[in-house]
Amino acid sequence: MDYEREFYMKKAKRFLPVLCVLVLGLSACASEPSEKETAQDTLVYASGDYTRIDPIVDEHGEINLLLFDGLTAHGANNEIEPALAQSWEHDEKENTWTFHLRDDVKWQDGQPFTASDVKFTIEAIMDPANESENAANFIDVGSIEVPDDETVIFHLLDKNAAFIDYMTIPILPEHRLEGEDMQTSDFFRMPVGTGPYQIESWDEGQAITMKANADYYKGKPKIETVIFKIVPDSSTKALQLKSGEVDLAQISPRDAGTFNDSGTIRVLDMKTADYRGILYNFNNPYWTENKDLIPAFSYAVDRQAIVSSVLLGKGEAAYSPIQKNEYNDPAIEHFDYDPQRSEQILQERGCTKNKDGYYERNGEEIAFTLVAPADDQVRKDIAQAVSQQLRQAGVRCTVDIPSQVDWSDQMAYLIGWGSPFDADDHTFKVFGTGQGANYSSYSDEKVDEYLALARSTSDPKVRRKAYSDFLHQMCADPAFTYICYVDAVYAADDTIEGIDESLILGHHGVGIFWNIEDWTIKEGE
């Protein structure tokens, strides 16, 4: 997040509703219907809760892939393919991207989709007033030209090697949102998209019901109804899978083990580029004096033990934000578990142990609080494991699991980031000075330089060197302590056909629905 307290607090308000609805979701479980629809044309998915569906302001949401389309899409093998745009050209000399749009696409309210919708959406993302996490993806856009309804031209001020990837962003209807507040508009309670499904009803805290879009440009989906049933708790999701109340859910590795002997539920262990780590909030004055100790904390974390005990092997130790990307450099410092090295750093930097066995410096104990989100059991478990390991290393780390996260005052947070797409994604906007997803307020001039260079060229050799330099500098001046990459573990009724298990999914595993229009439900035995 940005450096100013006022802006930081404004950002916090965006997270507040999501955290608050946890209580609603948990209390609702007892009153939800005990039986799901039995029709073969209905899929019931156990979902977290939503307070709004705004895909351009809030980056992540499983439901986005059902309701919206981008100009491009990540298809099989994670390769870019046409979506709302049927073709495009890149003029490197003029630094323009020209997209030619399909002429057979309608919004779910019957209005035609046009190039003006594209211009409106991207300009809304770029507008600082909307506080979009995705704004950094488009800071190179100088102007957007709409010569006709089926053509949109982006004039870039600087090169952006990831631009075609960023065109997967959902496009929104100008005719429904023009003049609306992109944070509070009622549109986001009943959004209209171009996607394979459209919302039929939204029972707050209970369920979002969607019907197949008969006018979908790829053809009407094969499953008629998809219900996102609100079930925030992983264990409850598992129980409802067993009882037949839901058909599909993302669950914890521990809950996945309860299906080992199930003949009707299959567990999908799907690889991701999604990592967990400690985000240090450099807005907190504690780090002004103690930032130099972060390497010692990193050496004190036994990542493999966490992968084994918390993830039950469904993941791997992390050392890099782009570990799953072709531009990763495995030669960087991994900060592998080394308690002796951790102790050495602490002592070299003036720390001594007190009578309680904890390090202190200049009369102040080395201690910080690690916040974990209340609605994520795996992250809570990781945080507790990290806390125990740091305490064993002489660092008093305390875990806090608040119902509301105070982003301005917290010391550290158990963050989740990562992307399987272009390496620019979740690096430039996460670690670049002042960028919209830089929630740690991290700033390093060399990191900014290397990320800008990597973004500005399509030459693989130049990009590889730039990202290598970026990773080495991040080791010298760390923003995070990386812990582990996590698999997206799903449990699915074996009547569901069409789920692709081979892909590295999008951030937080939200990519499972990328081909939902091709899924079917076979007759049960």
Q: Are residues 493 and 427 in the same domain?
A: no
Q: Are residues 297 and 442 in the same domain?
A: yes
Q: Are residues 257 and 284 in the same domain?
A: no
Q: Residue 413: helix, strand or coil by DSSP? A: strand
What pLDDT is attached to residue 19?
37
Q: What's the mean pLDDT in 325-330?
A: 96
498: Cα within 13 Å, side-chain hemisphere: 16
The amino acid that residue 226 corresponds to is V
Please write the tens of the pLDDT for every residue from 458-474: 999 999 999 999 999 99
What pLDDT is attached to residue 405?
85
Determine, yes or no, domain membership for 96.
no
Please write the tens of the pLDDT for every residue from 94-113: 999 999 999 999 999 999 99
Q: Among residues 439, 482, 307, which one has the least CA distance to residue 378?
A: 307
What pLDDT is attached to residue 288?
95
- pLDDT above 70 for 59: no
Please write the tens of the pLDDT for every residue from 72-87: 998 887 789 999 999 9
Among all chains, which residue has been given the structure tokens 């972060």?
Answer: 294
- pLDDT above 90 for 3: no
Determine, yes or no, domain membership for 399.
yes
What pLDDT is attached to residue 31?
41
What pLDDT is attached to residue 484?
98
Q: Residue 251: helix, strand or coil by DSSP? A: coil
Burial of 238-247, coded b for 16+ CB within 10 Å and e otherwise, reads bbbbeebbbb
- pLDDT above 80 for 341: yes
Q: H-helix or E-strand containing 397?
A: strand 396-400
pLDDT category at 524 given cuts 50, 70, 90 is: low
Q: Are residues 473 and 435 in the same domain?
A: yes
CB atoms within 10 A of CB 456: 17
Total of domains in the chain: 2
State the CATH number of the domain containing residue 497: 3.40.190.10
218 close to 66: Cβ distance less than 8 angstroms: no
What pLDDT is attached to residue 389?
98
Determine, yes or no, domain membership for 190.
no
Q: Are residues 447 and 509 in the same domain?
A: no
State the CATH number of the domain containing residue 409: 3.10.105.10
> Which tokens hold the place of 200?
């039929």
- pLDDT above 70 for 88: yes
The CA distance from 296 to 302, in Å, is 12
Determine, yes or no, domain membership for 362.
yes
What pLDDT is attached to residue 144?
98
Q: H-helix or E-strand containing 89?
A: strand 85-91
- pLDDT above 50 for 270: yes
Q: Are residues 371 and 250 in the same domain?
A: no
25 close to 229: Cβ distance less than 8 angstroms: no
Share above pLDDT 70 across residues of the chain, in percent, rounded to a whole number: 91
What pLDDT is attached to residue 38?
47
Determine, yes or no, domain membership for 5.
no
What pLDDT is attached to residue 13?
37
- pLDDT above 90 for 263: no
What pLDDT is attached to residue 24?
37
What pLDDT is attached to residue 345?
98
Among all chains, which residue has been given the structure tokens 């981008």?
Answer: 70
Q: What pTM value is reported for the model?
A: 0.89
Mean pLDDT of the chain: 90
- pLDDT above 90 for 205: yes
- pLDDT above 70 for 33: no
Please write the tens of the pLDDT for every residue from 166-180: 999 999 999 999 999
What pLDDT is attached to residue 408?
82
pLDDT category at 10 given cuts 50, 70, 90 is: very low
Pairing mode of beta strands 225-230, 42-47: parallel
The CA distance from 389 to 392, in Å, is 5
Q: H-helix or E-strand containing 243?
A: helix 234-243
Q: Are residues 418 and 496 in the same domain?
A: no
- pLDDT above 80 for 60: no
Structural domain including 515 reads 195-272+487-521
pLDDT category at 525 given cuts 50, 70, 90 is: low
Determine, yes or no, domain membership for 116.
no
Q: Are residues 467 and 495 in the same domain?
A: no
Q: Are residues 351 and 459 in the same domain?
A: yes
Q: What's the mean pLDDT in 424-430?
A: 94
The CA distance from 517 to 194, in Å, is 13
453, β-bridge pairs: none
Q: Are residues 383 and 293 in the same domain?
A: yes
What pLDDT is attached to residue 2?
34
Q: Are residues 369 and 245 in the same domain?
A: no
Determine, yes or no, domain membership for 498.
yes
Determine, yes or no, domain membership for 143.
no
pLDDT category at 30 given cuts 50, 70, 90 is: very low
Q: Are residues 413 and 286 in the same domain?
A: yes
Burial of 210 (C-beta count, 10 Å sphere; 0-12/13-18/19+): buried
